Amino acid sequence: MSALKSTAPREFIEQLEQILDLIKKRGIPLKLIGALAFNLHCPEFNYFHTKLGRVFTDLDFVGRYTDADAIRELFTSLGWEEDTMVTTLYGESRRIFNDPKSGLHADVFFDKLVFSHDLPLLERLEVDELTIPLAELFVEKAQIFHINEKDIIDILMLLREHPVGEIDQETVNAPVIARLCASDWGLWKTVTMNMYKARAKLINYEKLTEKDQEIISGGLDKIARYIEQEPKSMGWKLRSKIGERMKWHKDVDEV
């Protein structure tokens, strides 16, 4: 495997390269999510993470539940240990593996992400070689109800590096985002709310140039237009009549 261009600590990259080599050899569709996925998918602008103080805490992946045994064997063959308590409690949706040598841990989710909202991934796991598709990376962060600054930084960096369009190849596929939002009013509400927050944060980062801000703002505008123009489902329309009178997001428990 060629060297990964990342601003993450070397220990993260060394561990990740071992895992990715084994994933490739065994043909398991196990894809990166989280901050490291953003960092690796933005080789030109991942210095944003350094400039804006982004830190890395663990390795995060999504795979298929049908591959759960193969994924366990992959990690244990590298000397990682499975967190049996997490497997007992969440085994069909999530596993955690710990590396006793480095102290790192890997979070593996199955089929979809269930945070503030559900993000289905099963059908699009093989779109990108390394990570989940860029559209889903965007939604992964934009669906967080209690979004924090580090997640906004990831969104800004993604939109600085990649154009917004209608394909998946090194592009944030806006129709995919729009379809997800058009089928779920709660997701639409949180995503559009966080897009507004991301835009508002742009002026707070003095280290972003005027060109940076212009390109990122343009990407947010384009995604917003696709979301607005996408025909909404009947479920979306019915839920929109209730609006904010009923809670529209899940509370996320930390494991």
Rounded alpha-carbon distances, angstroms, from residue 25 to 21, 34, 172? 6, 23, 28
For residue range 53-73, what is the model confidence (pLDDT) as tens digits? 777 888 999 999 999 999 999
Quick one: pLDDT at residue 56? 83
For residue range 71-110, what is the model confidence (pLDDT) as tens digits? 999 999 999 999 999 999 998 999 999 999 989 999 999 9
Quick one: pLDDT at residue 51? 81
Average pLDDT over residues 174-191: 99
**Dihedral sign of CA atoms 240, 219, 124, 154 in order:** negative
Q: Where are the alpha helices (DSSP H) in the chain?
A: 10-26, 34-41, 47-51, 68-77, 84-90, 134-142, 149-161, 174-182, 185-202, 210-229, 234-242
The predicted model scores a pTM of 0.94
